[in-house]
Chain A
Amino acid sequence: MKTYRAMVLVSNDPLSIERGSQQVYAKLTEEIAAYGLQDEISLSMVSDIGRHDAAPLVIVYPDAVIYGPIAPENVHSLVEEHLYKGRVVAGLQAPLKEMTGRIAWLSARKGTLPAEQRIVLERAGLIDPESIEDYIIHDGYAALGKVLAEMKPADVIAELEKSGLRGRGGAGFPTGTKWKFVSKANGSQKYVICNADESEPGTFKDRLILEGDPHSIIEAMTIAGYAVGASEGYIYIRGEYTLAQERMYRAIIKAKEMGFLGDQIFGTNFSFNLHIHSGAGAYICGEETALIESIEGKPGIPRARPPFPTTHGLWGKPTLVNNVETLANVPPILRRGAAWYHSFGTPSSPGTKVYTMLGNINVTGVVEVPMGITLREIIAIYAKGMKKGSSFKLAQTGGSSGSVIPSSLQDTPMDFDSFSKAGVSLGSGALLICDEDTCVVDLARVLLNFFRVESCGKCNPCRIGTQRAFEILTTITEGQGTLKDLDTLLELSNNLAMMSNCGLGQTAGTPLVDILKYFRAEVEAHIRLKVCPAGVCTMKPHVHPEGKVHQNA
């Protein structure tokens, strides 16, 4: 293999592209050639590197110098000074204090931040996602090779069970158990589905995995196919993720060319094929049976469960449905063993979790840390604190259906069991962190609007319950609420949880219940005093209650 003196990476996430990263890349190619450095310096595009404030970024290794935001006209001096003469161009460097994600991890060597632990995002941002060679050099397809050469399907499942991996889509179901169900189900035709319909508000971890390390999902799904006895797989990617779809599409073609996918993989008798299926904008399709309906060419309306997809899934056949992040954990576990995996996280929730940090904090973005870290630590260390000296009021974890966490619960370790003990849910890993300028009634109204709009309409408790809750919350923000409304809201939440057909309705009331539990005084102020303590609600009728929206325009 050719060795290079330096490596130059250009960020290529949607925001960077929007801000001209492609032009920067073109200009870099030109300038590097102009100085005759093309054989000494490797240049590649990488996906999201973890910070957006200074996009597009140009990063030079091994010096680990980060430049940003870089415009094409900066490129000449950057190449001449840094790459040719070896002098750091201080004026173009991205401000150091606002670092997060991959960059923070890299600069940890310089003693600025405690290291993140990256398992599923290990390669994202470091390799060229369009290059299968890059993936292979970084241990790619090694797990698949090992599995096909040395392990029986039952061994794979046993190892996964031993690892204690739990589903990262939100529910935390043991992955090995699910694989076992599918492998034991009757039927010669089985399917593996990767749920990449990531629509939970505030969550974009799966997008980063798909965009930054597409082959890891292909490898994991092929292993899953071998373990459960499936020869066909679908990756269901939400319609809005066009870049992820394109990258995945090209990755599948390359994997087929090199014999990691398709017929007789690695020369064995095992064959596995993958299809990409695009969603079309429906949150409910993240529910596994709705997703299956959608692949079958129908509206995404959840089925009744049981029977579960593990026995009656796609086309009525046994089907394994796993989330992207869950699958991304599989190859590292099989390569390094279950014992290695247990060295991260807590005994009942081993491994890491990818969180997306959002809201009124200094640094937004993605962070992968061991299970069991606390919210306070995430805010202080990775999010670099609350914005402009504002103080923490609440966090919403796990997207719209997640819990609302008041400051008193900030020190609960974030793992499946500690969270369920505290009565909150970990969900998809979104951490929406809000300061005191956030009004809880207004927030609840926005969340219920989401459910009202995204409800598929199949069952009455959900279709009517979310609509009623939204209407009541709207009247409270308009200063027209009564105390009796609060009882009605709790009753609605209870009915939603007890009587809805699927997870959407069952969890729609969660944030509402939490808000009434922890912030009742603030809600009552809207009713008794007709004031919004946070100064958000106008206490006047809404001009545009987001009523007519989501109809076909």
Chain B
Amino acid sequence: MTIATIDGKVVLEAVNKAVEEHGATIDELIPILNDVNRTLGYLPANALDEISRRLRVPKSQLFSVSSFYRMFSTKPRGKHVVQFCESAPCHVVGGRQVWASLLDHLKIGPGETSPDGNWTLITTSCLGVCGVGPVIIIDDDIYGNVAPDQIAEILARYSETGE
């Protein structure tokens, strides 16, 4: 749930909360980044600055970590993030058709954010819910056994609530 421009105070609060919960040690760096990314929707530069200062970790290391892991984003994402599992187990049970339907409805390509800032579409590797493939995840909601003709209805749930 990204906010277009994030108030410096909000960023600071998110970092504070995460550092307090995990402790300011280097072995907690990734859990801290995880929490901040979750709260803010991405990792803004000033959040990385603050974490660098608090954990005494060089900024270069923070940038290399935040660009390495798939769950971190250094750029703002859409209001809702749609993750599509592109691994083999989902692929062989109809993932291709679901993917086509997603592209059709969202009208954006993989890795892109819609012009209205509502949607970001990303492909991901296996999410560990393969028993019910094809799988898509929207924000934190998991959808299993997805059929191509359900996509419109699933996406509509997010537009209506206006979250």
Report which A residues bind B (CB closer than 8 A). 14-15, 18, 52, 198-204, 207, 234, 238-242, 275-283, 294-300, 356, 358-360, 364-366, 396, 399-400, 430, 432, 434, 438, 442-443, 446-447, 449-450, 453-454, 456, 544, 546-553
Q: From B57, B65, B67, name the one whose CB has the most chain A CB atoms within 10 angstroms.
A: B65
- Interface residues of A: mostly helix, strand, loop or mixed? loop
Q: Is the CB of B31 within 8 A of A278?
A: yes
Residue B92 at the A interface, CB < 8 A? yes
Contacts of A14 in B (CB 8 A): 129, 142
Q: Is the CB of B92 within 8 A of A434?
A: yes
Contacts of A446 in B (CB 8 A): 86-88, 91
Q: How far is the CB of A199 from chain B (nearest CB, A)?
A: 6
- Return the 4 tightest CB-CB contacts between A and B, nearest first: A281-B70, A297-B29, A280-B69, A201-B87
Residue B115 at the A interface, CB < 8 A? no
Q: Is the CB of B75 within 8 A of A15?
A: no
Once A18-B141, A544-B110 are accepted as A-B contacts, the answer to whether A432 and B30 lie under 8 Å apart by CB is no
Q: Is the CB of B68 within 8 A of A300?
A: yes
- C-alpha spacing A18/B92, complex, angstroms: 24
Q: How far is the CB of A252 from chain B (nearest CB, A)?
A: 14
Q: How far is the CB of B34 from chain A (nearest CB, A)?
A: 5
Contacts of A296 in B (CB 8 A): 26-27
Once A202-B130, A364-B131, A443-B88 are accepted as A-B contacts, the answer to whether A552 and B27 lie under 8 Å apart by CB is no
- C-alpha spacing A438/B90, complex, angstroms: 12
- C-alpha spacing A544/B91, complex, angstroms: 15
Residue B144 at the A interface, CB < 8 A? yes
19 more contacts with CB within 8 A, not counting A15-B129, A446-B87, A552-B72, are: A199-B125, A201-B88, A239-B69, A240-B128, A280-B69, A298-B64, A299-B64, A299-B65, A356-B131, A358-B130, A399-B126, A432-B88, A438-B92, A446-B86, A450-B86, A549-B111, A550-B111, A553-B77, A553-B121
**A300 nearest CB neighbor, chain B only:** B68
- C-alpha spacing A399/B103, complex, angstroms: 27
B50-79 vs A, CB cutoff 8 Å, 1 = contact: the mask equals 000001010001001101111111110100
Q: Is the CB of A15 within 8 A of B69?
A: no
Q: How far is the CB of A364 from chain B (nearest CB, A)?
A: 5
- C-alpha spacing A18/B145, complex, angstroms: 12
Contacts of B128 in A (CB 8 A): 198-199, 203-204, 207, 238, 240-241
Contacts of A280 in B (CB 8 A): 30, 33-34, 69-72
- C-alpha spacing A551/B120, complex, angstroms: 12
Residue B118 at the A interface, CB < 8 A? no
- C-alpha spacing A202/B110, complex, angstroms: 22
**B83 nearest CB neighbor, chain A only:** A240
- C-alpha spacing A360/B103, complex, angstroms: 25
Q: Is the CB of B88 within 8 A of A282?
A: no
Question: Can you list 24 pairs linking A and B with CB atoms under 8 Å apart?
Answer: A198-B128, A201-B87, A201-B89, A203-B126, A203-B130, A204-B131, A242-B140, A277-B28, A278-B34, A280-B70, A281-B72, A283-B125, A296-B27, A297-B26, A297-B27, A358-B93, A365-B131, A443-B91, A446-B91, A456-B68, A544-B110, A549-B86, A552-B72, A552-B74
Q: Is the CB of B129 within 8 A of A432?
A: no
Q: How far is the CB of B68 from chain A (nearest CB, A)?
A: 4
- C-alpha spacing A64/B75, complex, angstroms: 52
Residue B1 at the A interface, CB < 8 A? no
**B33 nearest CB neighbor, chain A only:** A280
- C-alpha spacing A454/B123, complex, angstroms: 12
Contacts of B120 in A (CB 8 A): 553
Q: Is the CB of B34 within 8 A of A239?
A: yes
Contacts of A200 in B (CB 8 A): 126
Q: How far is the CB of B145 from chain A (nearest CB, A)?
A: 8
Once A548-B109, A548-B111 are accepted as A-B contacts, the answer to whether A553 and B65 lie under 8 Å apart by CB is no
- C-alpha spacing A90/B17, complex, angstroms: 51
**B42 nearest CB neighbor, chain A only:** A552
Q: How far is the CB of A293 from chain B (nearest CB, A)?
A: 10
- Residue in A199, A275, A550 whose beta carbon sits within 8 Å of that of B126 in the complex: A199
Contacts of A207 in B (CB 8 A): 128
Contacts of B142 in A (CB 8 A): 14-15, 18
- C-alpha spacing A364/B33, complex, angstroms: 35
- C-alpha spacing A546/B140, complex, angstroms: 23
Residue B122 at the A interface, CB < 8 A? yes
Q: How far is the CB of A267 from chain B (nearest CB, A)?
A: 28
Once A358-B133, A400-B87 are accepted as A-B contacts, the answer to whether A550 and B70 lie under 8 Å apart by CB is yes
Contacts of A275 in B (CB 8 A): 27
Q: How far is the CB of B54 from chain A (nearest CB, A)?
A: 13
Q: Is the CB of A359 within 8 A of B93?
A: yes
Residue B39 at the A interface, CB < 8 A? no
Contacts of A551 in B (CB 8 A): 111
Q: From B29, B77, B112, name the one whose CB has the most chain A CB atoms within 10 angstroms.
A: B29
Residue B127 at the A interface, CB < 8 A? yes
- C-alpha spacing A432/B88, complex, angstroms: 8
Q: Is the CB of B89 within 8 A of A549?
A: no
- C-alpha spacing A203/B26, complex, angstroms: 30
- C-alpha spacing A53/B143, complex, angstroms: 13
Q: How far is the CB of B157 from chain A (nearest CB, A)?
A: 12
Q: Is the CB of B75 within 8 A of A552?
A: yes
Contacts of B143 in A (CB 8 A): 18
Q: How far is the CB of A125 from chain B (nearest CB, A)?
A: 14
- C-alpha spacing A360/B92, complex, angstroms: 8
Residue B16 at the A interface, CB < 8 A? no
- Residue in A240, A297, A360, A450 whose beta carbon sits within 8 Å of that of B88 in the complex: A450
Q: Is the CB of A281 within 8 A of B144?
A: no
Contacts of A454 in B (CB 8 A): 125
**A399 nearest CB neighbor, chain B only:** B126
- C-alpha spacing A319/B96, complex, angstroms: 42
Q: Is the CB of B132 within 8 A of A15?
A: yes
- Residue in B73, B110, B132 whose beta carbon sits within 8 Å of that of A364 in the complex: B132
Q: How far is the CB of A459 from chain B (nearest CB, A)?
A: 16
Contacts of B133 in A (CB 8 A): 358
Contacts of A547 in B (CB 8 A): 110
Q: How far is the CB of B80 from chain A (nearest CB, A)?
A: 12
Contacts of B144 in A (CB 8 A): 15, 18, 52
